[in-house]
Structure 1
Amino acid sequence: MIRVEPGPEDYAFTVGGRPAYVTVPLWEEFQVFTEDCFSGRITAVTDRPREVAPFPRVNPLTGPVELSGVRAGDIVAVHLAALEPARTWGVSTLSPGFGALSGTRGSPNLQPETGERVWIWRTDPDSGTVATTTEDGRRLQVPLRPFHGTVAVAPAHGEVRTSTVPDAYGGNLDIPAVAAGATLYLKANTDGALLSIGDGHYAQGDGEFAGTAVEGAMRTRLRAGVLDAAHPDAEGFDWPRLETDDEIIAVGCGRPLEEAVRVALNTLVLWVASACGLPREDAYQLVSQGCVTRLGNLVNPSYTVTVALPKTLLPGAPRLMSGLHDRLRHPEEDR
């Protein structure tokens, strides 16, 4: 198995603009180590994030990884086979001018800025929780739910974007569904796709309202497949999609929030119409009556939203995206 473990100088803080760090064959499993969004530099509640990991040196990414055989325009399927916290602790913070309840340059207010605070969360895999302690000694606990906040391919037209931005190429989506067992579909904008991954989260509520999740280093096993750009199932693909064993999920990015919702909703309606052979109006009606809509983040340069539909509601039990998810999920059955 190929193992991708960057040294301290190998991490990227942008998506695009860098040559591949390593080349990985399609369909073969490989493992990556990803650092937390503060590059592992926050280890105590007395640390100050803006001093030890100032913007834009936040959200380091492992990669880019060239996926051999991918051509520009193809649809890349990135399957997260397993995610394991690489440390027994994670970090969350509050920072001035950041978070859903803070004023910003684009949405100012006259309230005092939030102070800078750090929480260290300890993982307990046996109980499936992460927990921290308040300043007065009380315990706070939430479920341990590892996922990757950032998975991306190189942007279109040679753009270079910071690792904090989500868009059509993926990026800093902060969507908890990007977890073990899920397949993320992204449109390759360049040969080899140039996959980057990072921003491991041990826990996060919908919206990432305080500005960070419980940020943590991660070891992740992945497999990648591809759908040729000329394949009928690739027609109309524009924004990221997710598939799990139980759901299909469309991702939308934008500001204001309703624009992100519209992107995700439109993506899912078109996906259902194409996969099930339904008129768009019928697909729209099915999605409207059966979907679940969730916030990814409400703090990044663009907001993210998912609109999901249970597979059990899809008429005709269609073979989605040419069965890429099932092939990557159960490679032993694809031989």
Structure 2
Amino acid sequence: MITPTLHPLPGTEHGGLPYLPAGPGTVLWGRLPCDGDAPVLRVEPGRRFVVDTVSHEGILEDQGRDPLRWFAERGVEAADVPRDAVEVAATVEHDPLRWGPHVVTGPVEVAGARPGDVLSVTVEDLALRCGHGVVSNRHGRGALPGEFPLAGGTGPFSVLARVDAAPDATGTGTGSMPVAPGDARRVRFPLRPFLGLVGVATPGQRLHSVPPGMHGGNLDVSLLGVGSTLHLPVQVDGAGFYVGDPHYAQGDGEVALTAFEAPLRAVLRVDLVPAAAVRLRDVLWAETPELLVPIGLDPDLDEAVRRAVRTAVALLADLGMHPAHAYAYLSAAGDFAVSQVVDRVCGVHGTIRKADLAELLGARA
């Protein structure tokens, strides 16, 4: 087997780290945690922990809410369907007419977190939990809602994707899917695992899991894999951190509606920037070892681009560039990509090479 199936672990630790499983009592289905939700784990800032995620694909109501049957019909052995996915489908409350599709693990209380602080979430490791996943288009959604699913199709159109080579020490791996129904030929592509949904709790009622916002949530920024850090403005005491929507691969845009959706086991570290030390407010951004990643969100894609550019200018100005020079630099050397156009609120992310900013970053250090 290329990728052994990682079922839920016994106990509350894994490899000496706190372990948070994904199952009844530790997940919400289709909604995001709010300040009224009791934490399912408590961690100190700077502490690493392990968390499991469950993919919604294969367990949803329009797929029968029976992952053992659904995957068996596509040639997957029962032993290779994670047991927590089966348990979530069978027992966790979900209303598909009112709530989103995502299975959300959390909330995690970060000790001492207060509104005005910034929670920095670093992805230290991502392990594939099985050797298969799903890409779906459904209900006239996606980038071409009037054209797909194709005429005559009923329900979701789902393609089973497989892991051909799991990511190695360099982070590279390969996935594939058939080129047509019943065709043995396959199209192959790199695996780039990441958590599509990472966020903090909000005041008031639980939010729908689909639209992202200043709370983070369903950002679907494919760069946020191992080694990345996402900076989130804390909105409630304890932060109420959560994750979900695991991917093995996603193209920028996620045009069909979902990408290579499949469960991940993550090792995460959460650090806290106290409010007095926060330099930029009301912005969303992330970074990798090589890049600064400004993020813009809006229902209108044009405005999402503008917001990403404004955030990029603010990041560069904070490092010491004159805003007009920052704007010019971004035109000469910055890149902006569509994160996704399928989550009600569109997302755009920029990439700024840290190597270009060596003198500025060196002065900040």
Change (3 A) 1:90 1:168: same
Change (3 A) 1:114 1:181: farther
Matches of 1:60 and 1:249, distance apart in 2: 26
For 1:298-317, what aligned pairs fall within 5 Å after superposition?
A: 298-314=341-357, 316-317=359-360
Q: Which residue of 2 aligns with 1:242?
A: 286
Matches of 2:139 and 2:74, distance apart in 1: 16
- Asked if the contact 2:105–2:243 (Cα under 8 Å) also holds between the matched residues in 1, the reply is yes
Q: 1:70 aligns with which of 109, 113, 136?
A: 113
Deviation, 1:37, is 2.3
Q: Which residue of 1 aligns with 2:32?
A: 15
Question: What is the alpha-carbon root mean square deviation over aligned residues?
Answer: 2.4
For 1:130-209, what aligned pairs fall within 5 Å after superposition?
A: 130-133=175-178, 134-137=180-183, 138-155=185-202, 157-209=203-255
Deviation, 1:136, is 2.9
Q: Which residue of 1 aligns with 2:45?
A: 26
Q: 2:330 aligns with which of 274, 287, 304?
A: 287
- Asked if the contact 2:55–2:244 (Cα under 8 Å) also holds between the matched residues in 1, the reply is yes
Deviation, 1:32, is 0.2
Matches of 2:153 and 2:296, distance apart in 1: 29
Cα shift readout 1:287-335 (whole Å, capped 9, x = no counterpart)? 2211111111111110111011101222623269x87xxxxxxxxxxxx
3-state SS of paired residue (2:329): helix
- Asked if the contact 2:100–2:208 (Cα under 8 Å) also holds between the matched residues in 1, the reply is no
Structure 1 gaps of 5+ residues are 324-335
Matches of 1:10 and 1:246, distance apart in 2: 34
Q: What one-letter code is carried by the residue in structure 2 that aligns with 1:14?
A: R
Change (3 A) 1:147 1:45: farther
Matches of 2:343 and 2:152, distance apart in 1: 18
How many pairs are equivalent?
A: 309
Change (3 A) 1:242 1:100: same
Q: Which residue of 1 aligns with 2:164?
A: 124
Cα shift readout 1:120-155 (whole Å, capped 9, x = no counterpart)? 111123571111223132212221110111001113
Matches of 1:238 and 1:316, distance apart in 2: 26
Q: Which residue of 2 aligns with 1:4?
A: 20
Cα shift readout 1:6-60 (whole Å, capped 9, x = no counterpart)? 323531132233221110111111000000023753525679xxxx884535111
Change (3 A) 1:262 1:6: same
Q: What one-letter code is carried by the residue in structure 1 that aligns with 2:264?
A: M
- Asked if the contact 2:136–2:157 (Cα under 8 Å) also holds between the matched residues in 1, the reply is yes
TM-score, length of structure 1 as denominator length: 0.85
3-state SS of paired residue (1:80): strand
Deviation, 1:211, is 0.4
- Asked if the contact 2:55–2:263 (Cα under 8 Å) also holds between the matched residues in 1, the reply is yes
For 1:254-293, what aligned pairs fall within 5 Å after superposition?
A: 254-275=298-319, 277-293=320-336
Structure 2 gaps of 5+ residues are 1-16, 60-66, 76-88, 167-171
Q: What one-letter code is carried by the residue in structure 2 that aligns with 1:6?
A: A
1:43 to 2:99 alignment: no
TM-score, length of structure 2 as denominator length: 0.79
Change (3 A) 1:103 1:270: same
- Asked if the contact 1:94–1:114 (Cα under 8 Å) also holds between the matched residues in 2, the reply is no
